[in-house]
Amino acid sequence: MRGQRRGGRPMTTARRDAYTPETLLTVAVQIFNERGYDGTSMEHLSKAAGISKSSIYHHVAGKEELLRRAVSRALDSLFAILEENGARRGRAIERVEYVTRRTVEVLVAELPYVTLLLRVRGNTKTERWALERRREFDQRVADLLKAAAADGDLRADVDIRLATRLLFGMVNSLVEWYRPHPGGGYDADQVAETVVQLAFDGLRTGS
């Protein structure tokens, strides 16, 4: 939207300047999700963004920096949930329900970023760091579930570690099938509420 610039600087400069690290990140995340991080070259990013490789290097050191920024955005949003009041106060069962609901909301709000995070495989330093941080988040939720079990609020006949895996399996599956539908489909609130109902109260009547 900054095509008209004062001072009549050359178009190439104007185009490069129109790209902020933020808009470049949006394009990079889309291409990483389409082609896989390993399968994406700076050439692909340059073509998709419609700017030269040197213009990209003006903003970032390389594709690994773009990956780091993208997964950081997803991780920061997820870890921020754990600092919210709902995650810090009240019985553990209420806190874990709160975190589950908010995780779904963050996943929907930051869909491309969380999708990329969940597809990270661990071939580079940044990927290994992202995997480590994911495990840390999962562990924090598992700890909450354990505390809820210790309070007697979770069924004793269920293995909590296995239940944590399945809960995350259900929540994370959203990146595979959930698509925002303006004017139709499910909104984030409904999905978040259904996940919590299913996981904690089950689908059966009277349960």
Number of residues that bind a second copy (CB under 8 A): 38
Q: Is 183 in the site for a second copy (CB under 8 A)?
A: no
Q: Is 158 in the site for a second copy (CB under 8 A)?
A: yes
Q: Is 173 in the site for a second copy (CB under 8 A)?
A: yes
In whole angstroms, the minimum distance from the beta carbon of 174 to a second copy comes to 7
Q: Is 6 in the site for a second copy (CB under 8 A)?
A: no
State the DSSP string of 51-114. Answer: S-HHHHHHH-SSHHHHHHHHHHHHHHHHHHHHHSHHHHSS-HHHHHHHHHHHHHHHHHHTHHHH
8 within 8 A of 21, measured Cβ to Cβ: no
Nearer to a second copy, 3 or 169 (CB): 169
Q: Is 157 in the site for a second copy (CB under 8 A)?
A: yes
Q: Is 163 in the site for a second copy (CB under 8 A)?
A: yes
Q: Is 197 in the site for a second copy (CB under 8 A)?
A: yes
Please report which helix (H) or strand (E) contains residue 111, including its range.
Answer: helix 111-119
Q: Is 93 in the site for a second copy (CB under 8 A)?
A: yes
**CA diameter of the chain:** 72
Which one among 30, 46, 72, 172 touches a second copy, defined by CB under 8 A? 172
Q: Is 168 in the site for a second copy (CB under 8 A)?
A: yes
Q: What are phi and psi of 79, to 5 degrees?
A: -65, -30
CA dihedral of residues 186, 173, 80, 86 (deg, nearest 10):
60
Q: Is 181 in the site for a second copy (CB under 8 A)?
A: no
100 within 8 A of 198, measured Cβ to Cβ: no
Q: Is 191 in the site for a second copy (CB under 8 A)?
A: yes
How is residue 130 written in tokens? 């992202």
Residue numbers at the binding site for a second copy (CB under 8 A): 93, 145, 152-159, 162-163, 165-170, 172-174, 176-177, 186, 190-191, 194-195, 197-205, 207
